[in-house]
């Protein structure tokens, strides 16, 4: 580690950039929360009125509730499925690297495009899933016209896209474990389950925590897939928090209230991330 | 002995069957999109089951030709390409030196670790929190519906990738080469530009790919800040439904056009995906 003036020359441009493009908008947004701002009309100071509106806004509570349920369900399922698939792949297998390369394709898919592909796959009259269900069981599922099944469709797409990510990272974690421990464990003739519970899981747990954290952060942002697959419908049954905030701000141009909604989301994500803060500091120490 | 061997053979078959099911699940959506885009429109709903091309229907590139002949469509693709290139250039120009500084120099007032986490916190921020101030700022600056607005926003949100991932790559390079260069009278900047940067080239290529893919996929800001001329491809895709009803052949063609580039990039940098998407927290 050297100490030279030039280090500021390297670092400062990016710091100024972040201050200008993140911190300034955040401060601006904070000031908006105290105003009633509508397009084309002068802003009016309303104190904490925008915050008070949250309490009685049942639509907001609905969005918040379904978003929290969505985050909890998808993150849990993705991490569990990712772990299981990683364990399956953490064995000798021919063609493993090819299979792994194929499995990671969903991760980088444009989420909006995934939503529209979902529209063709979940199509109720003659879409592939329903036509298979029709020929096997003689029944079909009202994927996008029924609130419950619309949710299932969103969850399935999200799990489809992000389980491979959890799988990939957990597999990398598994592969970095030293082999010797296993040799000793097998000599002790412990059962597979016991080896997993007592050795593998505790050792790969730090990696699982990272995956959990990253998925948690990203899940709160959900917008694209819902926008393209259901548009928040039927009715407002799948109108997740980001979509609700977006519409409040940029469809109804209620900028002040939308800023309050944004800050509420930021507060929740920050609380969720803070639970992991010790671990984050360890990683980047 | 025989019993054990037979059981393991069954287990082996079972393993491959499981892997097969998982792969089918992972690839089906993409397969379906490609197949639908190759079907003649009239057969979109009449061909059933898995719709195997050549067996169940004769594939045609008609949808692709039609789609690419639409001016609006080509314009949206061009916008996406331009925004992705310039946003990535800015993110790299700002982020790589910062990553180098965090890896090689010691900062006292705010520690290196805390600076790194500060950059990372950018990715924690849900975009919808700042979409309204961005909209109002861009309106004031008369930048609504311009590519420049999207370039600025996307550079901001891909910057953490550039900083944090290259920081780790530089940390892993031996410092001796740069020290030797300094002894030879090389300036700090030359040591960075001529020695460290080329050595970190593979990681830098991977970060470029990640920044391009994330900018390409970005939707919320593109939707909010553009209306006509600067529409990126995802926004154009999202408009498809309103204008054309359930014309799945176009929808599938556009969806595959949209996700083609990032998927190819993902394959190209697959060795770096774990490290890249976990910001170096897990080494893949």
Burial of residue B118 (number of CB atoms within 10 Å: 0-12, 13-18, 19+): middle
Of A109, A176, A262, the CB nearest to B283: A176
Q: Cβ contact (<8 Å) for B278 and A112? A: no
The model's pLDDT over B197-246, given as tens digits with 9 standing for 90+, comes to 999 999 999 999 999 999 999 999 999 999 889 999 999 998 865 545 66
Q: Where are the domains of chain B?
A: 2-60, 69-277
**Is the Cβ of A144 closer than 8 Å to some Cβ of chain B?**
no
Owning domain of residue A151: 56-283
Q: Cβ contact (<8 Å) for B217 and A265? A: no
Residue A243 in domain: yes
Q: Say what the pLDDT of residue B1 is.
A: 35
In contact, B106 and A1? CB cutoff 8 Å: yes
CATH 3.30.360.10 fits B69-277, yes or no: no
Of A14, A100, A221, the CB nearest to B126: A221
What's the alpha-carbon Rg for chain A, to the nearest Å? 24
Burial of residue A24 (number of CB atoms within 10 Å: 0-12, 13-18, 19+): middle
Q: How far apart are CA A190 and CA A177, in angstroms?
A: 18
Of A110, A176, A246, the CB nearest to B216: A110
Query: Comparing C-alpha atoms, which of B98, B131, B127, B221 is closest to residue A32?
Result: B131
Retrieve residue B282's tokens: 């897990």
For position A111, which CATH number holds?
A: 1.10.3720.10
Query: Comparing C-alpha atoms, which of A240, A45, A27 is closest to residue B136?
Result: A27
Residue A156 in domain: yes
Q: How far apart are CA B98 and CA B155, in angstroms?
A: 14
Q: Cβ contact (<8 Å) for A28 and B254? A: no
Q: How far apart are CA B139 and CA A175, in angstroms?
A: 50
CA distance B271 to chain A (A): 10
Q: With beta carbons under 8 A apart, name residues in chain A contacting B192.
A: 10
Q: Cβ contact (<8 Å) for A106 and B22? A: no
Tell me if the bond preceding A234 is cis, omega within 30° of 0. Answer: yes
Percentage with pLDDT > 70 across chain B: 93
Q: How far apart are CA B223 and CA B246, in angstroms?
A: 21
The model's pTM? 0.91
**Is the Cβ of A101 closer than 8 Å to some Cβ of chain B?**
yes
Task: Output the tens digit of pLDDT for each of chain A's 285 residues.
Answer: 445 778 888 999 999 999 999 999 999 999 988 988 776 677 788 888 889 888 889 999 999 999 999 999 999 999 999 999 999 998 888 888 899 999 989 999 999 999 999 988 998 887 888 888 888 888 888 988 899 999 999 999 999 999 999 999 999 999 988 877 777 777 776 777 888 888 888 889 989 999 999 999 999 999 999 999 998 888 889 999 999 999 999 888 888 899 999 999 999 999 988 888 777 778 776
Q: Say what the pLDDT of residue B233 is.
A: 95
In contact, B202 and B261? CB cutoff 8 Å: no
Q: With beta carbons under 8 A apart, name residues in chain A contacting B104.
A: 1-2, 7
Retrieve residue A239's tokens: 């109108």
Q: How far apart are CA B157 and CA B145, in angstroms?
A: 19
Instruction: Please measure the distance between the N-terminal and C-terminal CA atoms of chain B and give it in whole angstroms.
Output: 38
Q: Say what the pLDDT of residue B242 is.
A: 52
The model's pLDDT over B70-88, given as tens digits with 9 standing for 90+, comes to 888 999 999 999 999 999 9
CA distance B156 to chain A (A): 7
Q: How far apart are CA B253 and CA B250, in angstroms?
A: 5
CA distance A13 to chain B (A): 6
**Is the Cβ of A3 closer than 8 Å to some Cβ of chain B?**
yes
> Per the structure, how many domains does chain A have?
1
Residues near A106 by beta carbon (within 8 Å), at least 6 away in sequence: A114, A160, A161, A162, A164, B26, B29, B30
Retrieve residue B112's tokens: 């290196």
Task: Give bridge partners of residue A248 from the DSSP assignment.
Answer: none
Q: Is the pLDDT of residue B4 over 60?
A: no
Q: With beta carbons under 8 A apart, name residues in chain A contacting B155.
A: 17, 21
Q: Say what the pLDDT of residue A1 is.
A: 45
What are phi and psi for residue B219, nearest 5 degrees? -125, -45
The model's pLDDT over A192-240, given as tens digits with 9 standing for 90+, comes to 788 888 888 888 998 999 999 999 999 999 999 999 999 888 888 999 9
Task: Give bridge partners of residue A36 from the DSSP assignment.
Answer: A44
Query: Comparing C-alpha atoms, which of B205, B174, B225 is closest to residue B275?
Result: B205
Residue B272: DSSP 8-state: G
Q: Helix (H, G, I), strand (E, B), or coil: what is residue A119?
A: helix
**Displacement of CA B32 from its chain's centroid (Å):** 22
Across B16-20, B169-173, B177-181, B210-214, least confident range: B177-181
Residue B256 pLDDT grade (very low, low, confident, very high; cuts 50, 70, 90): very high
- CA-angle at A198, arms to A197 and A203, nearest 5°: 95
Residue A6 in domain: no
What are phi and psi for residue A146, nearest 5 degrees? -115, 130
Q: Is the pLDDT of residue B20 over 60?
A: yes
Across A15-19, B159-163, B248-252, least confident range: B248-252
Q: Cβ contact (<8 Å) for A114 and B259? A: yes
Residue A205 in domain: yes
Interface test with A, best of B249, B282, B283 (most A CBs within 10 A): B282
Q: Cβ contact (<8 Å) for B105 and A32? A: no
Q: Say what the pLDDT of residue B3 is.
A: 39
Query: Comparing C-alpha atoms, which of B158, B149, B51, B40 is closest to residue B94?
Result: B158
What are phi and psi for residue A44, nearest 5 degrees? -125, 130
Q: Helix (H, G, I), strand (E, B), or coil: what is residue B95?
A: helix
Q: How far apart are CA A106 and CA A88, in angstroms?
A: 19
CA distance A100 to chain B (A): 9
Q: Cβ contact (<8 Å) for A21 and B256? A: no
What are phi and psi for residue A254, nearest 5 degrees? -95, 75
Retrieve residue A90's tokens: 């953490």
CA distance B79 to chain A (A): 16
């Amino acid at each position: 580690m050297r100490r030279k003036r030039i280090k500021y020359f390297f670092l400062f441009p990016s710091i100024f950039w972040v201050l200008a493009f993140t911190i300034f908008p955040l401060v601006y947004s904070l000031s908006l929360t105290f105003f009633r701002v509508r397009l084309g009309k002068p802003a009016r100071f309303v104190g904490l009125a925008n915050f008070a509106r949250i309490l009685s806004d049942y639509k907001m509570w609905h969005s918040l509730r379904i978003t929290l349920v969505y985050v909890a369900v998808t993150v849990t399922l993705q991490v569990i499925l990712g772990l299981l698939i990683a364990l399956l792949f953490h064995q000798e297998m021919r063609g493993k690297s090819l299979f792994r390369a194929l499995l990671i394709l969903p991760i980088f898919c444009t989420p909006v495009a995934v939503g529209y592909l979902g529209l063709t796959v979940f199509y109720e009259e003659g879409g592939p899933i329903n036509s298979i269900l029709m020929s096997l069981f003689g029944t079909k599922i009202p994927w996008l016209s029924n609130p419950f099944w619309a949710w299932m469709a969103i969850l399935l797409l999200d799990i489809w896209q992000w389980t491979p990510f959890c799988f990939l990272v957990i597999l990398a974690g598994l592969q970095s474990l030293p082999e010797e421990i296993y040799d000793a464990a097998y000599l002790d003739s412990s059962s597979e389950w016991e080896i997993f519970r007592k050795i593998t899981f505790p050792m790969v747990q730090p990696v699982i925590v990272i995956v959990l954290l990253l998925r948690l952060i990203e899940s709160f942002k959900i917008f694209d897939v819902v926008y393209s697959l259901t548009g928040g419908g039927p009715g407002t049954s799948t109108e997740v928090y980001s979509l609700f905030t977006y519409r409040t701000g940029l469809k109804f141009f209620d900028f002040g209230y939308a800023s309050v909604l944004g800050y509420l989301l930021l507060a929740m994500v920050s609380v969720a991330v803070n639970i992991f803060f010790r671990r984050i500091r360890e990683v980047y120490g | 002995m025989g019993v054990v061997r037979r059981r393991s053979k069954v287990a082996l078959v079972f393993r491959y069957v499981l892997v097969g099911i998982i792969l089918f699940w992972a690839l089906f959506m993409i397969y379906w999109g490609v197949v639908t885009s190759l079907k003649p429109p009239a057969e979109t709903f009449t061909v059933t089951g898995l719709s195997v091309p050549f067996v169940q229907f004769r594939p045609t590139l008609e949808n692709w030709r039609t789609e690419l002949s639409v001016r609006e469509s080509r314009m949206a693709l061009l916008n996406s390409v331009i925004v992705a290139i310039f946003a990535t250039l800015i993110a790299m120009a700002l982020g790589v030196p910062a990553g180098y500084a965090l890896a090689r120099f010691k900062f006292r007032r705010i520690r290196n670790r805390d600076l790194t986490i500060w950059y990372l916190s950018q990715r924690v921020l849900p975009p919808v929190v700042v979409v309204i101030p961005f909209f109002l700022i861009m309106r004031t600056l008369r930048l609504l519906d311009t590519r420049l607005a999207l370039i600025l926003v996307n550079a901001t949100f891909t910057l953490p990738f550039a900083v944090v991932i290259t920081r780790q790559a530089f940390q892993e390079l031996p410092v001796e080469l740069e020290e030797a260069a300094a002894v030879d009278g090389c300036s700090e900047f030359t040591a960075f530009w001529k020695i460290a940067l080329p050595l970190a080239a593979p990681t830098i290529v991977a970060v470029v790919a990640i920044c391009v893919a994330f900018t390409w996929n970005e939707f919320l800001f593109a939707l909010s800040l553009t209306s006509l001329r600067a529409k990126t491809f995802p926004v154009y895709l999202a408009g498809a439904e309103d204008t054309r009803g359930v014309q799945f052949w176009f929808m599938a063609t556009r969806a595959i056009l949209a996700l083609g580039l990032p998927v190819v990039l993902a394959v190209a940098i697959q060795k770096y995906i774990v490290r890249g998407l976990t910001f170096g927290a897990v080494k893949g």
